[in-house]
Structure 1
Amino acid sequence: MRRRLDGPLTPPVSDFSVMSGRGWGREERLRRFEAWITSVHGEVIHTPRADWTRVLARVLADKGIRRLALGRAHPVAAEARAALAEAGVTLVDADRPVEAWWETLFHEVEAGLTSTAGGVAETGSLWLWPTPDEPRLLSLVPPIHIAVLDAEAVEDTLFEVMERHGWAAGMPTNALLISGPSKTADIEQTLAYGVHGPRELVVLLRH
């Protein structure tokens, strides 16, 4: 193919306008994000930024969560650790090789807390870039995933997220797009939740 008789192929001009240009305002983005993610059993809890750790503590108490896995370095993890220090919740360190805590992770941890890099209004999705401080297993293994999302980080489309944040210039080994709790319809085409991962997704949406 490199020695085509009529010369090299010229790539066609790509029109990406169908993937962007929604023009939604902030409130419309948030409305669409919440509508889509709750339509597949995601739970969105609005919270003032200054008060989000109190809301987190209430969610843990309401759901009976006593063992919470989280990182250390990210500000979300650091604030949560400080707020929960006297809350009677066992904080499980996630910033270590999985071999050192896999039994605790798979059999004892009741929820995982993560930050998010942003959200996509068009699909009701969160996007996460895992790090050694917040490994991907933190959002994929525990029965409940609690994700902290800033309202201003919700953008119209995935295309605009990829462009604005320079995904082409460098991506992590795993970029996670999360649009609700784990679900599958492999068995008799019946949709079931929580089969291969978290049965609940709770989004703390900070304003």
Structure 2
Amino acid sequence: MRARDAILKRLRERTDGPLSAPESDFAVVTHRGWSAEERLERFERLIASVHGEVIHAPRESWAETLAKVLADKGVRRLALGKQHPMAAEARHALADAEVELIDVDRDIESWQREQFERVDAGLTSTRGAIAETGSLWLWPTPDEPRLISLVPPIHIAVLDADTLEDTFFDVVEAHGWADGMPTNALLISGPSKTADIEQTLAYGVHGPRALVVLVRHAAAAAEDA
């Protein structure tokens, strides 16, 4: 019997019964009690403090705002998915725009050079955001692979205002990660940045140099934003 198997056998045959997880107090990582307005204000303030840009738009016309963002930033080639409702809506709205829409549901080896050298921006949906840290959270899929948020010089993330939650713990609990943790969740708290020994920050060294968060609001909320 291998040592590993012997140890596991002894654990299973404990005379005082099976091991149980200790009781834990999670109060310090949850129950912030912020209102929806407070969550959004905190998220925007924190992500803006690290050079993230937040743009608000009504849910009904957000794609028009997206088109303006692309024009303002000189984006001519935009990488995005096809199946997600957000991507489908963006494709429809940009059909007549002077922007080339780049399909991303391809094997990376077939378009690696194109992605690194010719794509101006990547567009992704988000699953939500975290007010406490000013972070987006994404769950990449074959339709929206991880690289389109990491490789292009500009990452445009579409966030629904009502998906903001107080803390990371609240995200884990609300979305049942204990029963089905995502294999590749991304937490994004601003554009790529690094610092040298003198603590001088440089942006865009290891990923996007710019992050634009397009926050979609219901009609009434958009009027107040």
TM-score by length of 1: 0.95
Partner of 1:35: 45
Matched, 1:132 2:142: yes
Counterparts of 2:125 and 2:198, CA distance in 1: 35
Tell me the CA shift for residue 9 of structure 1: 6.0
1:109 partner letter: V
Matches of 2:65 and 2:190, distance apart in 1 = 20
SS in structure 2 opposite 1:54?
helix
Whole-Å separation in 2 of the counterparts to 1:75 and 1:188: 45
Contact 1:71 1:93 in 2 (8 A): yes
Structure 1: tracts of 5 or more residues without a match: none
Residue identity in the other structure for 1:188: E
Post-superposition Cα deviations, 1:144-187, rounded to whole Å, max 9, x if no partner, equal 00000000000111100000001121233211000000011145
Once residues 110 and 85 of structure 2 are traced to their aligned partners in structure 1, the CA distance between those partners, rounded to angstroms, is 24
Name the CA shift for 1:10/1:186 in 2 (closer, same or farther; >3 Å).
farther
Say if 2:163 is the partner of 1:163: no
185-194 or 105-114, which deviates more: 185-194
Q: Structure 2: which 5+ residue stretches go unaligned?
A: 1-6, 218-225
Q: Hey, what does 1:173 align to over in structure 2?
A: 183
The one of 106, 109, 125 aligned to 1:115: 125
Aligned residue type for 1:65: V
Aligned partner letter, 1:50: E
In 1, the alpha carbon distance for the partners of 2:43 and 2:60 equals 22
Distance 2:84 2:32 in 1: 32
1:96 Cα deviation after fit: 1.4
Q: How many residues align?
A: 207
When you count helix as a share of all residues, which structure comes out higher? 2
Equivalent-residue separation in structure 1 for 2:197 and 2:76 (angstroms): 33
By how many angstroms is 1:97 displaced?
A: 1.1
Q: TM (normalized to structure 2)?
A: 0.87
Secondary structure, aligned partner of 2:64: helix
Q: Give percent identity, aligned residues only.
A: 71
Post-superposition shift, 1:69?
0.2
Worse overlay, 11-20 or 110-119? 11-20
Deviates more, 1:167-176 or 1:17-26: 167-176
Paired position in structure 1 for 2:152: 142
